[in-house]
Amino acid sequence: MTDPTPALSARRPSRRLGRQGLVQLLLLALLLALPVAADLTGHPYYVTLASRLTLIAMAAVGLNLALGYGGMISFGHAAYFGLGGYVAGIGAFHAFDMTPFLGGIPGSDNLLVLWPIAMLACGLLALAIGAVSLRTSGVYFIMITLAFAQMVYYFANSWPTYGGQDGLPIYLRNQLPGLDTQEPLTFFLICFVGLVLAMALTSRLMGSRFGAALTMARLNDTRLATAGISPTPIRLVAFVISAMITGLAGALYADLNGFVSPSMLSWHLSGELMVIVILGGVGRLYGPLVGAALFIGMETLLGGLTEYWQLFLGLTLLGVVLFARQGVMGWLAGREPHA
Partner 1 sequence: MPEAVLALEGLHKRFGALAATDDVSLTLRPGEIHALIGPNGAGKSTLIAQIAGSLRPDAGRVLLGGVDVTGESVAARARRGLGRSFQVSSLAEPLPAIRNVMIAVQALAGHSFRFWKPVARDPRLVEPAMAALERMGLGHRAATPVAELSHGERRALEVACALALRPRVLLLDEPMAGLGPEGSAHLTELLERLKAEVPILLIEHDMEAVFRLAERISVLVAGRIIAHGDGDTIRRDPQVRDAYLGD
Residues near partner 1 (CB under 8 A) are 1, 4-5, 7-11, 204-205, 207-213, 215-216, 219-220, 222-231, 234, 237, 338-339
Q: How far apart are CA 302 and CA 309, in angstroms?
A: 5
Shorter beta-carbon distance to partner 1: residue 149 or 224: 224
Q: How far apart are CA 274 and CA 295, in angstroms?
A: 11
What single string gives the DSSP state of each residue in 284-338?
-TTHHHHHHHHHHHHHHHTTTT-TTHHHHHHHHHHHHHHH-TTHHHHHHH-SPPP
Shorter beta-carbon distance to partner 1: residue 19 or 204: 204
Report angle CA 338, 30, 64 to the nearest 5 degrees.
40
Q: How far apart are CA 15 and CA 174, in angstroms?
A: 41
CB of 119 to partner 1, least distance (A): 15
CB of 287 to partner 1, least distance (A): 17
Shorter beta-carbon distance to partner 1: residue 173 or 235: 235
Closest CA to 75 of 139, 153, 157: 139
- Buried b / exposed e along 41-52 (16+ C-beta atoms within 10 A): eeeeebbbbbbb
CB of 204 to partner 1, least distance (A): 6
Closest CA to 243 of 149, 337, 317, 312: 149
Shorter beta-carbon distance to partner 1: residue 18 or 164: 18
CB of 201 to partner 1, least distance (A): 9
Shorter beta-carbon distance to partner 1: residue 213 or 293: 213
Shorter beta-carbon distance to partner 1: residue 210 or 312: 210
Shorter beta-carbon distance to partner 1: residue 98 or 339: 339
CB of 25 to partner 1, least distance (A): 20
CB of 220 to partner 1, least distance (A): 5
Q: What are phi and psi of 102, to 5 degrees?
A: 50, 35
Answer yes or no: are the C-beta atoms of 133 and 141 closer than 8 Å: yes
Long-range CB contacts for residues 20-26, cutoff 8 Å, separation at least 24: 20/333, 20/334, 20/336, 20/337, 23/286, 23/329, 23/332, 23/333, 24/285, 24/286, 24/333
CB of 29 to partner 1, least distance (A): 25
Q: What are phi and psi of 101, to 5 degrees?
A: -90, 130
CB of 7 to partner 1, least distance (A): 6
CB of 163 to partner 1, least distance (A): 38
Closest CA to 172 of 160, 187, 156: 187
Shorter beta-carbon distance to partner 1: residue 62 or 184: 62
Shorter beta-carbon distance to partner 1: residue 107 or 123: 123
- 10 Å Cβ neighbour count for 124? 14
